[in-house]
Amino acid sequence: MSTVKIQLPTVLRQHAGGAKTVEATGDTVGEVFADLARRYPALAAQLAPDGDLGVFVNVFVDDEDIRYLDGLDTPVRDDAEITILPAVAGGAR
């Protein structure tokens, strides 16, 4: 089981006691998120509602976007860093 560091954006920190960085364990991103959900239940609805990656969340493992890898099945190594960023959309014409 790998231990990884997760960087949380400001908007999600309130669900993790205000922490900027948290640690969790798992061999895939999905397992890491499940571990996070056990410790910080409010994060579960934000990260992977209905068991799939949230539409308004971008997740990177060591700077690689998991949407172009294996999604929540993307493997993580010990000491990997997961960065969660809120999706930004919109704009004016």
Q: Which amino acid, 44? A: A
pLDDT given at position 42: 86
Give me the percent of the chain exceeding a pLDDT of 90.
69
Identify whether 36 is part of a domain.
yes
Does residue 59 belong to any structural domain of this protein? yes
For the cut 80, the answer to whether the pLDDT of residue 89 exceeds it is no
Q: Is residue 93 part of a domain?
A: no
- Angle, CA of 90, 84 and 47, to the nearest 5°: 85
Domain span at 62 = 2-86
- The model's confidence at residue 87, banded by pLDDT at 50, 70 and 90, is confident
Q: Is 6 a member of any domain?
A: yes
Within 13 Å, how many C-alpha atoms sit on residue 22's CB side? 23
Total domains in the fold of the chain: 1
Which residues, listed in sequence order, are joined to residue 4 by a DSSP beta bridge? 24
Q: Is residue 23 part of a domain?
A: yes
Is residue 91 a part of any domain in this protein?
Answer: no
pLDDT band at 69 (very low <50, low <70, confident <90, very high): very high
Domain membership flag for residue 81: yes
> pLDDT per residue over 22-63, tens digit each?
999 999 999 999 999 899 988 877 887 677 777 778 999 999
Average pLDDT, the chain: 89
CATH of the domain at 79: 3.10.20.30
Asked if pLDDT for residue 7 goes beyond 90, the answer is yes
